Amino acid sequence: MTIDGAGEQEAPEGCGARVRSALAWRWGSQLVAQFITWGSTILVVRLLDPSDYGLFAMSQVVVTALNFLNGWSFASSLIQAEKVGEREIGQAFALLLLTNGALALIQLLIAPLAASYYGQPEVAALLRVQALIFLAIPFTALPTALLARRLEFRGQGIANLVSAIVAAVTALVLAWRGFGVWALIYAPIAGYAVRAAIMCVAARLWVRPVFDLKGAGRMVGFGGALTLCQLFWIVQSQSDIFIAGHVFTVHQLGLYSEALFLTLIVTGRFIPPLNDVAFPAYSELHKAGRALGPYFERTMQSVLLVVSPIYIGLSLTAPEAILVVFGAKWTGMAPIVSGLALVMPLMAVQIICSPTVTATGKERIYLATSMAGAAIFGTSFLIGVQFGAQGLVRAWWVAAPLLLAITLALTLPQIRLPLRRLLLAALPPAAACLAMAGVVAALRLVLPADIGPVATLAILGLAGAATYCGILFFAWPDVVRQSVAMLRRTPSDPLPLPASGPAPGDRTSTIAD
């Protein structure tokens, strides 16, 4: 069994067409699935209490940490390899089965220790049940890699949609029937199981695991390097909840964790799926001897054009947005959301850097930035937690810009992209957001206090969106046209890459992955 077209060079025109199709399915399905998840999340949040989310966040520190070590990178090595046959696929399958079986066992063993650390006995039961997630991962990771290698994302898109619906319905029904935190536990398990079944059918995965790993040195080396990177990413992405869980009350942790979930929706849910397309696309470009700098520059600008107004707008309107969407019992997380949203555009740029170096075989750079992220974020959170939730917010303000500066310093020379060009590409969204912030702040000062949160949110949101779009259309019309044209590019034009974003970026999920 071989993968058709694997390792063959292709004209940029043909690759560009496949990237557009892959992007349409991967990002489009993610968008629809996320709207389904958002709708269900809002209803579930209204049914449950902050303490339920506090317990869930405590268990998720362990689940997410182990999940980052699930060996997905062994499957990802198939994407980068020149040629792949049945033996290589079977070896990757075996590695996934062994890795995830071990992780499930580890989670069962450390469940009581985690409960003791947090002082919450129920956490042990939550972790034991969530160990089932690891049983589905080999049957998701391997078909995902096989389809991604061929830039075929239709089956993955269908799997995302169906699993999102199943998880959302499960969470709603269980929350409505009074299951409390268990609604958040069973929903992702149902989603994972459905997604694994659909992905195996879509990828026509009829292969036996090969436990003889002779000749799998490159696979183990590549996968091991990325897994080590993920180990450091665990420290970076989970240390705030881990540290705060020992200091905050369950209610306080629930507010912080949900604020973090809300602000990470775009960077954690939309950009990693786009990276799923960027990684194989960058790999093909690198094999064809093409420089990645121009494509990364265009990708970064498009990402910032989309995420910057969302996050700056959320920061400016957080009090009204939280009250209207989540209800009065969640208003305590508004200042946390407002502060975290300010640095998320920087995290978006940070996340899209990883496919460039992994696609070119520079895993050591990814490893270096992961180590730096673990040290910077871990230290910042240790200091910040002493000052409560706002202390953690300020830790993000310090850590995110510093890590991005280190990442760009290591990445840009590898893709031959001058920093000046990158900054010029970031200027339009940055300037438009600055103007938007000025208009919204001025408008808030003159709005009557008695018009209510819904009217206030609507007025500020519309005024901010109009200002942002107006600045871009009048000051940088070419940037707007180029971004729109990426969706309608002719075959003779340069290869377009994702218009807005395996890479880290996901943290935790309220309902399903």
Q: For residue 403, which amino acid is it? A: L
Alpha-carbon gap, residue 7 to 410, rounded angstroms: 28
The pLDDT, as a whole number, for residue 9 is: 44
Quote the CA–CA distance of 321 and 330 in Å, as a whole number.
11
Are residues 326 and 45 in contact, defined by beta-carbon separation less than 8 angstroms?
Answer: yes
- In this structure, the number of other CB atoms found within 10 A of the CB of residue 490 comes to 8
Per-residue pLDDT tens, the chain, 513 aa: give them: 444 444 444 444 445 555 555 555 555 666 677 677 777 888 888 888 888 988 998 998 889 888 877 777 776 667 656 666 777 778 888 888 898 999 999 999 999 999 999 989 999 999 999 999 999 888 888 888 777 776 666 777 788 888 889 999 999 999 999 899 999 999 999 999 998 888 888 777 677 777 777 766 666 666 666 667 777 877 887 889 889 988 898 889 889 988 998 898 777 766 766 676 666 677 777 677 777 778 888 888 888 998 999 999 999 999 999 999 888 888 999 999 999 999 999 999 988 887 777 777 676 787 788 889 989 999 999 999 999 999 999 999 999 999 999 999 988 888 888 999 999 999 999 999 999 999 999 999 998 888 889 999 999 999 999 999 999 999 998 887 876 665 444 333 333 333 333 344 455 443 334
Q: Collapse the DSSP code of 7 into the 3-class scheme (helix H, G, I; strand E, B; otherwise coil) and give the result.
A: coil
Ordered DSSP codes for 19-44: HHHHHHHHHHHHHHHHHHHHHHHHHH
Q: Is 248 in a helix, a strand, or coil? A: coil
Task: Give the per-residue pLDDT at 403.
Answer: 94
Alpha helical stretches, state H, 385-503: 388-411, 419-446, 453-475, 477-485
In the Cβ-directed half-sphere of 343, how many Cα atoms lie within 13 Å? 20
Helices (runs of H) and strands (runs of E) counted in the chain: 22, 0
Confidence (pLDDT) at 501: 31
> What φ, ψ does residue 342 adopt, rounded to 5°?
-65, -35
Q: Residues 426, 304: contact at Cβ < 8 Å? A: yes
* Residue 164 CA to its chain's centroid (Å): 16
What is the number of alpha carbons within 13 Å of residue 219 lying toward its C-beta? 27
Identify the CA nearest to 310 among candidates 465, 507, 459: 465
- Tell me the backbone φ, ψ of residue 174, rounded to 5 degrees: -70, -40
Non-local (6+) Cβ contacts of 319 within 8 A are: 331, 334, 338, 453
Residue 411 to residue 234: CA distance in whole angstroms: 21
- In 3D, which of 450, 472, 446 has the Cα closest to residue 460? 446
pLDDT at position 8 is: 43
In sequence order, the 6+-apart residues with CB closer than 8 A to the CB of 366 are: 225, 226, 229, 354, 357, 358
How far, in whole angstroms, is CA 258 from its chain's centroid? Answer: 15
> In which residue are the tokens 């449950």 written?
48
Q: Residues 436-450, buried b or exposed e (16+ Cβ, 10 A)?
A: bbebbeebeeeeeee
Whether the CB-CB separation of 490 and 473 falls below 8 Å is answered with no
Query: Tokens representing 203?
Result: 């990828």
Tell me what pLDDT residue 76 has.
66
Side chain identity, residue 480 = V
Give the residue from 334, 313, 314, 336 showing the smallest Cα distance to 323: 334
DSSP β-bridge partners for residue 2: 85
Which position has the token pair 């978006």?
348
Per DSSP, the residues of 281-301 read HHHHHHHTT--SHHHHHHHHH
Q: With contact defined as beta carbons under 8 Å apart, do 369 and 406 qualify? A: yes
**SS3 at position 446:** helix
